[in-house]
């Protein structure tokens, strides 16, 4: 079983980094093969250049990192996204990853006006932190993670059985609450 983590946070001292460490440790103990895409560490450029856009409709990647990420995803059975929610959505780095990596012919094909996913990733787990509470994100902000990110974007790319774990109200959480959340993460990544 190949599990890929897509991690998007710039600061190594963040709680997101603790989440990544807990998830990776749990996966390693379960003897699942782990691939890590660490967008900031990798120096991934999320900006779509004019040249890249000219090749986009043909499904061509001119960034070698994009081709490398596509190969990792092609061999992925389970995927985990770890990121902070900024302005009620995924950070620009992660959105740029989706824009540039999810190309026609690599992630999906088209039949008429319909997008047909190529990948069949059996398990999708999205782990986030947010200053807003989870209820606020669900009820007052249009449910951007479950509604749009998981059930529209990721599912449309062949990433199924989506689950969302959020450590909401992050600035107000206690050390005990964070420790409990990390235990929840460890259980979720191996089930």
- Give the CATH number for residue 129: 3.40.50.360
- Residue among 121, 123, 128, 145 at smallest CA distance from 190: 123
What contacts 73, CB < 8 A, 6 or more positions away? 4, 79, 101, 107, 119, 121
**Average pLDDT by consecutive 10-residue portion of the chain (191 residues)?**
96 98 97 96 96 92 95 97 97 97 95 94 98 97 97 97 98 98 98 90
User: Tokens standing for 181?
Assistant: 């959340």
The domain total for the chain is 1
What's CA 170's distance to the chain center, in Å? 19
Give me the pLDDT at residue 60, please: 94
Q: For position 57, what pLDDT does the model report?
A: 86
Terminal alpha carbon distance of the chain: 12
pLDDT for the residue numbered 182: 98
Position of tokens 């951007």?
144
Q: pTM for the whole thing?
A: 0.97
Note down the domain range covering 56. Answer: 2-190
């Amino acid at each position: 079983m190949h599990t890929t983590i897509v991690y998007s946070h710039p600061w190594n001292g963040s709680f997101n980094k603790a989440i990544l460490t807990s998830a990776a440790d749990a996966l390693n103990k379960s003897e699942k093969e782990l691939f890590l895409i660490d967008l900031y560490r990798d120096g991934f450029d999320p900006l779509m250049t004019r040249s890249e856009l000219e090749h986009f409709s043909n499904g061509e990647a001119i960034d070698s990192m994009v081709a490398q990420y596509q190969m990792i995803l092609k061999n992925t059975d389970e995927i985990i996204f770890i990121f902070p929610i900024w302005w009620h959505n995924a950070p620009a780095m992660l959105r740029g990853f989706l824009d540039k990596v999810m190309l026609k012919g690599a992630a999906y094909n088209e039949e008429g006006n319909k997008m047909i996913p190529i990948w069949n990733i059996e398990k999708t787990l999205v782990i986030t932190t947010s200053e807003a509470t989870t209820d606020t994100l669900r009820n007052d902000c249009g449910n951007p993670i479950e509604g749009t990110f998981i059930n529209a974007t990721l599912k449309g790319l062949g990433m199924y059985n989506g689950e969302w774990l959020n450590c909401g109200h992050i600035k107000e959480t206690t050390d005990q609450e964070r420790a409990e959340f990390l235990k929840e993460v460890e259980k979720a990544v191996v089930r």
